[in-house]
């Protein structure tokens, strides 16, 4: 027989931040985050990610002491109370929503940095190309003479970047509520000791990452992503990839809905996005060639970067999803029914699920 008597009490939680103020654009934020609370020993969840965050901070500190400063502000976040429902990150996003929606470039999340072999990543689609490019610069931790990109591209039949329509880590409030582009990184698909006493340093040292080289790879990918987003003259966002991904989603939806008229309307909007992405790409190429000190060029770059930064916010619905108003992202909020076959277009997924539930009564 087993019984438990949980203690209920109010407690104060503490988020911790380190801010590196940007030189040219201090009011634009590149945010990195990991939570530090654990159910048990937490060697995988979350301390593998916490170790990586501290190493990123250490490396940025070395660069600062050498005289470097980023173009845009970098914010390092250590979240509290993630295991109780992403409370630390969610409260901070809600409290600073207006500021973040006008100034945040991206949120880069690492939770369980290492829980086995193989890189796994999720992102909003405009960051796919940047993520892939960065992995070409990092040594693979398990195969000598190869890059992370080399092994990632051969794993499971090719590179597969997940879309973040889940609510199990701190990217959720940034994407689903605030509409901020996000990345989530980790090594190893699953960890059998998740949230148990097996999540220990002994397991990590013997099985998870004996030489701690996977930790090193995640740290380098995470840090390089932050540096590109903080330093590139023109934000490295690719909305052609976004349009292509939305087209794939729409094709799946069309098969389910027998190519109804409503799907044709979505196709029209995707074509508009693709055309706009082409124009932005041309403008970005032109602006990269201009003198970085040219006053008119500075203003044009700022305006283009603002359009790129704010584009993700256009996928938010101010009133939220029907019956779930906190979730506002119309592309990648989680579906109401976690058994839904659709992990995109949550409003449509919810409507299909509700109709199915009504027909079975």
Distance of CA 343 to the CA centre of its chain: 16
**Annotated catalytic residue: which of 25, 82, 248, 319?**
82
Q: Is residue 195 within 8 Å of residue 266, measured between CB atoms?
A: no
Q: Are 53 and 32 in contact (CB under 8 A)?
A: yes
313, exposed or middle or buried, with CB in 10 Å at 0-12, 13-18, 19+?
A: middle
Close Cβ partners of 151 (under 8 Å, ≥ 6 residues apart): 118, 119, 140, 142, 143
Residue 239 tokens, joined: 């909305």
> Which among 112, 135, 104 is positioned nearest to 29, based on CA atoms?
104
- For tokens 């590149």, the residue is 30
Query: 334's torsion region: left (phi>0), alpha (psi -120 to 50) or beta?
Result: beta
Respond yes or no: is residue 82 known to be catalytic. Answer: yes
* Edge-to-edge strands, sheet with 161-162: 16-20, 72-79, 25-35, 104-114, 182-187, 119-123, 161-162
C-alpha angle with apex 285: 279 to 289, nearest 5 degrees? 145
Q: What are phi and psi of 197, to 5 degrees?
A: -70, -10
CA 136 to chain centre: 19
Q: Which residues are catalytic?
A: 82
């Amino acid at each position: 027989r087993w019984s438990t008597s949980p203690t209920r009490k109010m407690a104060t939680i503490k988020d911790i931040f380190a801010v590196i103020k940007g030189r040219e654009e201090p009011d634009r934020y590149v945010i990195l985050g990991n939570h530090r609370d654990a159910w048990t020993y937490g060697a995988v969840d979350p301390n593998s990610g916490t170790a990586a965050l501290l190493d990123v901070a250490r490396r940025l500190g070395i660069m600062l002491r050498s005289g470097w400063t980023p173009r845009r502000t970098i914010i390092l976040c250590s979240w509290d109370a993630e295991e109780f429902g992403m409370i630390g990150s969610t409260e901070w996003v809600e409290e600073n929503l207006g500021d973040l929606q006008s100034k945040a470039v991206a949120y880069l999340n690492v939770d369980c940095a290492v829980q086995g072999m193989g890189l796994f990543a999720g992102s909003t689609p405009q960051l796919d190309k940047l993520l892939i490019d960065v992995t070409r610069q990092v040594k693979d931790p398990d195969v000598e003479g190869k890059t992370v990109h080399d092994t990632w591209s051969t794993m499971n039949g090719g590179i597969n970047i997940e879309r973040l329509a889940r609510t199990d880590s701190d990217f959720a409030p940034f994407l689903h509520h605030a509409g901020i582009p996000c990345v989530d990184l980790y090594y190893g698909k699953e960890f059998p000791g998740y949230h148990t006493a097996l999540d220990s340093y002994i397991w990590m040292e013997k099985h998870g990452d004996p030489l701690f080289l996977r930790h090193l790879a995640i740290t380098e990918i995470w840090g390089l992503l932050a540096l590109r987003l903080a330093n590139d003259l023109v934000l490295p966002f690719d909305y052609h990839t976004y349009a292509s991904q939305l087209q794939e989603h729409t094709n799946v939806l069309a098969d389910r809905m027998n190519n109804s008229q409503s799907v044709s309307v979505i196709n029209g909007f995707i074509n508009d996005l693709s055309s706009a992405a082409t124009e932005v790409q041309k403008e970005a190429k032109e602006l990269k060639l201009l003198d970085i000190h040219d006053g008119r060029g500075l203003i044009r770059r700022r305006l283009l970067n603002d359009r790129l930064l704010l584009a993700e916010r256009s996928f938010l619905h101010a009133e939220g999803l029907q019956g779930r108003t906190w979730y506002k992202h119309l592309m990648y909020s989680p579906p109401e029914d976690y058994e839904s076959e659709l992990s995109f277009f949550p409003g449509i997924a919810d409507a299909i699920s509700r109709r199915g539930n009504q027909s079975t009564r």
